[in-house]
């Protein structure tokens, strides 16, 4: 089906890309503005992949004439900028379209708007009294001064499902709905109701929350969605009880899902990144050698394996310059070796993430070799080109060429790549996600999850972008937390900045259900302990396991490796470092309060020496300054824990304002001392986690 996908929520003046799905490179596609606000003069281009910029707020219907028929797409535009991130428009388009010099992207992630940032919305659905009830709960931004009754909700029923219902002879769902709103001091709830008879095989409902100060532009949330799927369209037995014969609603059954929620298994996942060519102690790293080491990796307690690219490439060891998207690199093995590695990982309870590279090819790719300096090449239009005749690229990457994602042959080729590898693995780590159009990621997400609803889409987008959680990605690289941990380790920020970093996620507009990858290093970064020392590294790693998110271990981190991409010195493993990682992983798995769903709360605490006075600032030695330490509370269900992190070389004694226990759940040992005045102190080297209550 060539329908362009879900409705789009944008700002007036914001440009979005439109594209047919599953395109036929030889097919004819034509866009039109089918309906628009009376004062709008917006138009669409003549190409199959085009752009649309709504010029005034309001509802737009865009038509797409395609080989499989005519389709309509709703675009709802607001008199607002997507405030809350330090890029214009708040989307990947702004990152892709930075200055012509392609300046590097820093780690300064989204920042809250001066007026408090966008609100958030969460959708749920259930069946009540023979009808579908969708509830949207809208909450103000945590840093906003707006009250809940300053919020409104805008629902949109997916155009694809409207067309299906009408084609099946059902009542148009949009004509059958009723919407009501209620509010409390904390939230606004909008309720959409419609009879089940209007529901086709699938009904997807999307919504945004809108916050507005009097006289000001709106602030609009990341959209959420809910899907109601018809499981059994049975009819009543005319001889059964008092039910009216043939009542079409009797016997119907529906399943409700929230498609923007990360896979359930990420709630206690721990990711392990493998830089494939230097991971093993073989002379040349191979997939078979990696598979042989999986049992040892599994003992660490990690359960998700991210392998850097394994496809044919130009010989650069990182593998991101791909020359053949359908073949395993010869130096690593063959497809059977890859499938055997995945099977071995699965046998040891580990999922596998495929590193998906869709922004570019290597210059050694056959397409590029034919197209370079050849204007008559059939592949010429499959790449971006600069006025100089050189291909488009980012930064100083001279060995790659950016693909032209507006070319239908390119899009279909990349979708074939997705179809090739998705059935073999459990998720994609999406390289340079910011450099690939949103429209393509939305299609890839739907395509991958159609085969496996628990398939993971994880984006490498630096800085992170809240709207990338809008029907594109489940889990996002948290470079903000990464950079904050580095700053703490360097002594440039106090330890409690980790709480600010986590709270920034909501402040810039991410919904509560968004997932975040928490790491201290990866194949692109200097090892943390090299830059900040062993003591700070121990606390920083503990932070990734105790703050709300998905912790990641970069291979070698767990044995004290100091080289970023060097061959891992397994024979020189520091066992105390490995044991520390294993204990943290076990505690993370055993205590849901430490996972992504656990609440994070600030607590009052005081760092003390042997007496009641705080220790003075010290540049060296074992003295601990209060800025070296942070304490916070994690809670989920009936479980509550206090976590204390100490980035200093010396042992800290910390008085926490909470009724806590005496055992550290990470080590299983007592960690509380009572001083001469009867005050209880938590003794912490790098981390201590104690139960509350």
pLDDT at 674: 87
> Stretch 77-105: mean pLDDT, rounded?
47
pLDDT number for residue 231: 87
CB contact set of 26 (below 8 Å; sequence gap of 6+): none
Q: What is the C-alpha to C-alpha distance for residues 512 and 506, in angstroms, rounded to an integer?
A: 7
The count of residues in the chain is: 693
In a domain, 26, yes or no: yes
At residue 142, the 3 state secondary structure works out as coil
463 and 538 together in one domain: yes
Instruction: Kindly state whether residues 316 and 457 are assigned to the same domain.
Output: yes
Identify whether residues 458 and 320 lie together within a single domain: yes
247: confidence class by pLDDT, cuts 50, 70, 90? very low
Q: Structure tokens of 418?
A: 């997705």
Q: Are residues 47 and 3 in the same domain?
A: yes
* pLDDT of 625 strictly over 90: no
Here the tokens at position 95 are 């990152």
Q: Residue 85 above 70 pLDDT?
A: no
334, exposed or middle or buried, with CB in 10 Å at 0-12, 13-18, 19+? middle
> For the residues 450-458, what does the mean pLDDT come to?
96
295 and 444 housed in the same domain: yes
CATH number of the domain residue 654 falls in: 2.60.40
Tokens of 621: 């030695």
Whether residue 320 sits in one domain with residue 434: yes
Q: Which two tokens stand for residue 21?
A: 């799905």
pTM exceeds 0.85, yes or no: yes
The pLDDT, as a whole number, for residue 283 is: 63
Beta carbons within 10 angstroms of residue 160's beta carbon: 22
**Residue 385 pLDDT:** 97
Spatial CA neighbour of 191 closest among 220, 155, 224:
155
Q: Which residue has the tokens 């419609």?
A: 194
Q: Are residues 297 and 255 in the same domain?
A: no
- 534-546 and 479-490 helices cross at what angle (nearest 10)? 150
**In this structure, are 82 and 128 located in the same domain?**
no
* Res. 234 pLDDT band, cuts 50 70 90: very low
The distance in angstroms from the start CA to the end CA of the chain is 56
Whether residues 453 and 561 fall in one domain? yes
Report the distance separating Cα 539 and Cα 463, nearest Å: 24
Tokens of 332: 């690593």
Q: Which two tokens stand for residue 238?
A: 């005319």
Rg for the chain (alpha carbons), in Å? Answer: 27
Compute the distance between CA of residue 672 and CA of residue 667 in angstroms, rounded to an integer: 13
**The predicted structure's pLDDT at residue 612:** 38
Q: Which of 224, 295, 244 is nearest to 471 (CA)?
A: 224
Task: Decide if 72 contacts 163 (C-beta within 8 A).
Answer: yes
For the stretch 491-512, pLDDT in tens is 999 999 999 999 999 999 999 9
Peptide bond into 463 cis (omega under 30): yes
Q: How many CB atoms lie within 10 A of CB 524?
A: 11
Q: What is the mean pLDDT of residues 235-256?
A: 51
- Measure Cα distances from 554 to 69, 225, 299, 307, 523 in Å: 49, 34, 15, 11, 7
Tokens found for residue 455: 């398939």
Across 434-446, b (16+ Cβ under 10 Å) vs e yields bbbbbbbbbbbbe
Q: Are residues 72 and 178 in the same domain?
A: no
Q: Assess whether pLDDT exceeds 70 at residue 108.
A: no
Residue 437, CB half-sphere, CA atoms under 13 Å: how many?
A: 20
Q: Containing domain of residue 644, as a range? A: 599-611+621-691
Residue 601 CA to its chain's centroid (Å): 22
Looking at the structure of the chain, the number of domains it has is 4
Q: Which residues pair with 137 in a beta bridge?
A: 122, 189
Q: What is the mean pLDDT of residues 563-590?
A: 95
Q: Is residue 652 in some structural domain? A: yes
Give the sign of the dihedral formed by CA 170, CA 173, CA 175, CA 181. positive
Q: Is the pLDDT of residue 675 over 90?
A: no
Q: How do residues 537-546 score in pLDDT, each as one tens digit? A: 999 999 999 9
Structure tokens at 118: 């966008």
Q: Which of 224, 259, 294 is the last residue of a domain?
A: 259
- Distances in Å between the alpha carbon of 582 and those of 330, 378, 504, 576? 34, 54, 29, 10
Task: Determine, yes or no, domain membership for 397.
Answer: no
Average pLDDT of every residue of the chain:
89
Which CATH number does the domain housing residue 326 bear? 3.20.20.80
Task: Classify 461 as helix, strand or coil.
Answer: coil
Catalytic residues: 431, 460
User: What average pLDDT does range 392-410 have in this prediction?
Assistant: 95
pLDDT tens digits for 627-645? 999 999 999 999 999 999 9
Cα–Cα distances (Å) from 510 to 134, 145, 481, 614, in that order, read: 21, 18, 15, 37
Residues 681, 654 contacting (CB under 8 angstroms): yes
Are 446 and 521 in a shared domain?
yes
Residues 169 and 43 in one domain: no
Q: Given a cut of 70, is residue 519 above it in pLDDT?
A: yes
Which H or E run contains 629?
Answer: strand 629-636
Report yes or no on 396 lying in a domain.
no
Tally of helices (H runs) and strands (E runs) in the chain: 13, 35
Q: What is the mean pLDDT of residues 524-553?
A: 97
Q: How many Å apart are CA 93 and CA 17, to the nearest integer?
A: 9
364, part of any domain: no
DSSP β-bridge partners for residue 577: none
Does a structural domain hold residue 76? Answer: yes
Q: Which helix (H) or strand (E) holds 324?
A: strand 322-328
Percentage of residues in the chain with pLDDT exceeding 70? 89
* CB 204, CB 6: distance < 8 Å: yes
In a domain, 392, yes or no: no
Binning pLDDT at 50, 70 and 90, where does residue 185 land? confident
DSSP 265-306: GGGG--EEEE-GGGSSSSSS--HHHHHHHHHHHHHTT--EEE
pLDDT confidence band for 623 (50 / 70 / 90) = low
Q: Where are the alpha helices (DSSP H) in 159-227?
A: 159-167, 173-176
Quick check: 618 pLDDT over 50?
A: no
User: pLDDT over 90 for what percent of the chain?
Assistant: 82
Is the pLDDT at 531 greater than 90? The verdict is yes
Residues near 106 by beta carbon (within 8 Å), at least 6 away in sequence: 463
Provide CB contacts within 8 A for 406, sequence distance 6+.
17, 19, 47, 49
- In a domain? residue 384: no
- 575-610: b or e for each residue (b if 16 or more CB lie within 10 Å)? eebbebbebbbebbbebbbbbbebebeebebbbbee
**Does position 127 have pLDDT exceeding 70, yes or no?**
yes
Q: What is the CATH number of the domain that holds 67?
A: 2.60.40.10
DSSP assignment of 641-678 equals EEEEEE-SSS-EEEEESS-B-SB-TTT-SB-EEE-TTS
At 310-351, the pLDDT tens digits run: 999 999 999 999 999 999 999 999 999 999 999 999 999 999
């Amino acid at each position: 089906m060539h329908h362009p996908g879900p409705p789009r929520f944008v700002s007036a003046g914001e440009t979005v890309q439109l594209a047919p799905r599953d395109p036929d490179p030889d097919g004819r596609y034509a866009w039109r503005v089918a309906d628009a606000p009376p004062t709008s003069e917006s138009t669409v281009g003549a190409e199959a992949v085009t752009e649309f910029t709504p010029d005034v707020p309001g509802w737009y219907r865009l038509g797409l004439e395609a080989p499989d028929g005519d389709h309509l797409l709703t675009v709802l535009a607001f008199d607002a900028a997507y405030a809350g991130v330090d890029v214009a428009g708040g989307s990947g388009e702004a990152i892709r379209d930075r200055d012509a010099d392609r300046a590097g992207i820093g780690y300064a992630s989204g920042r809250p708007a001066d007026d408090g940032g966008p609100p958030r919305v969460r959708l749920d659905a259930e069946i009540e009294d023979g009808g579908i009830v969708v509830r949207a709960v809208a909450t103000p931004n945590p840093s906003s001064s707006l009250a809940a009754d300053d919020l409104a909700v805008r629902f949109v029923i997916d155009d694809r499902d409207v067309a299906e219902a009408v084609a099946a002879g059902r009542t148009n769902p949009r004509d059958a709905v009723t919407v009501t709103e209620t509010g409390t001091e904390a939230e606004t709830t909008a309720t959409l109701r419609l009879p089940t008879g209007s529901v086709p095989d699938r009904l997807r409902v999307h919504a945004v929350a809108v916050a507005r100060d009097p006289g000001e532009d709106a602030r609009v949330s990341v959209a959420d969605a809910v899907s109601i799927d018809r499981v059994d369209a049975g009819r009543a037995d005319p001889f059964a009880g008092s039910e009216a014969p043939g009542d079409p609603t009797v016997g119907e059954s529906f399943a409700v899902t929230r498609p923007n929620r990360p896979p359930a298994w990420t709630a206690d996942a721990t990711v392990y990144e493998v830089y494939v060519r230097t991971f093993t102690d073989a002379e040349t790293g191979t997939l078979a050698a990696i598979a042989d080491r999986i049992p040892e990796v599994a003992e660490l307690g990690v359960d998700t394996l991210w392998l850097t690219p394994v496809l044919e490439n130009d010989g650069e060891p990182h593998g991101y310059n791909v020359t053949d998207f359908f073949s395993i690199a010869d130096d690593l093995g063959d497809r059977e070796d890859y499938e055997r590695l995945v099977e071995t990982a699965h046998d040891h309870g580990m999922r596998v993430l495929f590193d998906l590279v869709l922004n570019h090819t290597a210059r050694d790719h056959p397409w590029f070799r034919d197209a370079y300096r050849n204007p008559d090449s059939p592949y010429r239009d499959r790449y971006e080109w600069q006025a100089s005749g050189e291909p488009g690229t980012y930064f100083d990457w001279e060995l790659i060429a950016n693909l032209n994602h507006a070319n239908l042959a390119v899009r279909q080729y990349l979708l074939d790549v997705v179809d090739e590898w998705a059935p073999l693995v459990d998720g994609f780590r999406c390289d340079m996600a910011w450099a690939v159009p949103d429209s393509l990621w939305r299609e890839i997400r739907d395509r991958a999850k159609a085969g496996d609803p628990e398939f993971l889409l994880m984006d490498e987008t630096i800085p992170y972008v809240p709207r990338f959680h809008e029907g594109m990605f489940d889990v996002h690289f948290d470079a903000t937390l990464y950079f904050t941990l580095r700053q703490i380790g360097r002594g440039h920020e106090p330890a409690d900045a980790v709480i600010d970093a986590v709270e920034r996620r909501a402040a810039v507009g991410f919904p509560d259900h968004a997932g975040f990858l928490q790491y201290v290093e990866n194949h692109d970064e200097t090892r943390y302990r090299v830059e900040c020392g062993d003591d700070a590294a121990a606390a920083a790693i503990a932070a990734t396991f105790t703050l709300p998110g998905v912790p990641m271990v970069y291979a070698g981190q767990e044995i004290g490796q100091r080289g970023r991409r060097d061959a891992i010195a397994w024979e020189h493993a520091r066992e105390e470092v490995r044991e520390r990682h294993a204990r943290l992983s076990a505690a993370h798995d055993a205590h849901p309060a430490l996972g992504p769903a656990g609440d994070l709360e600030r607590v009052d605490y005081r760092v003390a020496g042997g007496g009641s006075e705080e220790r003075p600032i010290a540049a060296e030695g074992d003295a601990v300054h209060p800025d070296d330490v942070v304490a916070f509370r994690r809670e989920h269900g009936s479980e509550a824990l206090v976590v204390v992190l100490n980035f200093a070389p010396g042992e800290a004694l910390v008085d926490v304002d909470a009724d806590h226990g005496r055992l550290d759940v990470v080590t299983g040992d007592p960690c509380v001392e009572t001083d001469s005045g009867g005050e209880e102190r938590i003794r912490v080297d790098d981390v201590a986690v104690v139960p509350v209550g």
